[in-house]
Amino acid sequence: MAIRQSGISLKEFNTFGMDVKARDFSRVSTLDDLWQVMDWIENEPGKLLFLGGGSNLLFTSDFDGWAVAIQNKGIEILSRNEDFVRVKVAAGENWHDFVMWCVENGFGGLENLSLIPGNVGSSPIQNIGAYGVELKDSFQSLEAYDLESREKLVLEFKDCRFGYRDSIFKQELKGRVILWSVTFRLSVQPVVQLSYGAISQELNAMGILNPGIKDVSEAVCRIRRSKLPDPAEIGNAGSFFKNPVVSAEKAEMLQASYPGIVTYPVPDFQVKLAAGWLIEQCRFKGFRRGDAGVHPNQALVLVNYGSATGSEILELAEEIQQAVLEKFDVLLEMEVNVV
C-alpha cells in the first residue's frame, strides 16, 4: 500500500544533494501502489515527477506537486542459449548494481557502463553511454505503462528511437508513460569492447594483457573514480552537457581555427565535439563561485561543494553555455533536467 507524505526532503533522491521539499511524496514498489497514487493525483491535479536515482536532476526550488519514487525490484533470466541470455530488470534496480550482477554472472555487453549513477528505469530515457558503448547496443525491449489509459506497453528497439543521449521518452512519450522494466540481450561468450583508448591504457597499467569483462569493468571504474567526483562526497549529476554534434563542414572550420579541438566522427557526415574540451578552453575547468563549481578533473561536470542552490548551479551552466557559444559558435545542450 502506498503512503502519502507531505513536505518531504528530496535530498536523497537527487545526486546534486539539493535539500528541496516536495509538496506530496510517495514510494511505489508495485503496480497497485502506482495506480493508488495515480488515483490520488487524479483527484488533486497538479505537477507530477517520477524519481529514480536522481542522477539527472537539478532542483532549483521546492517541488510544488507530487514526487513519486519508483522502487520496484527484481532481476529475472527469461531465456538463455549458448550465445545469448535475455535478462528482465525492474526499473527501480540500481544501474551499477545490475551491471555488477551481469559481470559476476559472465554476461557481457554492459561492463563499459559500470559506475554510471542512477536506476535501470532511467537508462533507456537517456540511452546512457560511456567508453564506446551505449545502452541501445544491448537493449531488447521494455515494459511501460500509459499513465492515462493505464495500459501496458511493450516497446521494442525500433520503437524507442534511440539517438545520442536521446529516445522517444524525451520526445513524444515524455510525461506520458512510466517505464517499469527493461529487458537486455547479453552475450554468454562476451567479446570485450576496447575501442575507447583510455580503457586499453588502464588495462596496461593494471598489467592485464587478455582482459575479460570483469577486468574491463574494473578498468572503467578506476577511470571514472579518477576523473569524476563521487556524488556521495561532492554533489553532481555526472556530465552536465551533451557533447555537441555538428556538420563535418563546421568541424573542419573549427579545426582550422583550433587544431587541438577534440572530435569524434559519427554517422550522417557529422562530427561530435568534446564538450569538456570546449568548456576547458573557456577557462571554466576548476572554476568555483561560492559552492557552485566546475570539477577540476573534468570540465563537463558541474558540482555542488556543499550549500550551492540549484539556481546558482543553473546560473553557472548558462554562463558556460554563453562563453562556449561566443568562442566557438556552438551551443551546448544541457543533459540534466532542470526542475
Residues marked as catalytic: 165, 239, 335
Q: What is the pLDDT of residues 298-313, one digit of tens each?
A: 999 999 999 999 999 9
Is the pLDDT score of 186 beyond 90? Answer: yes
CATH number for the segment(s) 75-187: 3.30.465.10
Q: Are strands 21-28 and 301-304 parallel, antiparallel or unpaired?
A: unpaired
d(CA 85, CA 189): 10
68-77: burial string, b at 16+ Cβ within 10 Å, e else = bbbbbeebee
Strand 47-51 and strand 63-70: pairing? parallel
Q: What are the Cα distances from residue 244, in Å, to 3, 265, 273, 289?
A: 42, 12, 5, 25
Assigned C-alpha cell, 245:
554534434
* Cα 318 from Cα 313, distance rounded (Å): 9
Percent of the chain with pLDDT over 90: 83
Q: Bridge partners of 338?
A: 58
Q: Which residue spans of the chain are classified as CATH 3.90.78.10?
A: 235-338
Whether residue 43 is predicted with pLDDT greater than 90 in this model: the reply is: no
How many H helices and E strands in the chain? 9, 20
Cβ atoms 188, 80 nearer than 8 A = yes
Which CATH topology does 235-338 take? Answer: 3.90.78
Element (H or E) spanning 199, and its range?
Answer: helix 197-205
Angle at 19 between CA 15 and CA 22, to 5 degrees: 100
Give the separation between CA 216 and CA 117, rounded to whole angstroms. Answer: 18
Query: What are the tens digits of pLDDT across the range 67-88?
Result: 999 999 999 999 999 999 999 9
**Cell triple for 72:** 520496484
* pLDDT tens digits for range 220-238: 999 999 888 988 899 999 8
Grid cell at residue 253:
572550420
Q: Whole-structure pTM over 0.75, yes or no?
A: yes
Q: According to CATH, where is 3.30.465.10 located in the chain?
A: 75-187
Fold assignment, 5-70: 3.30.43
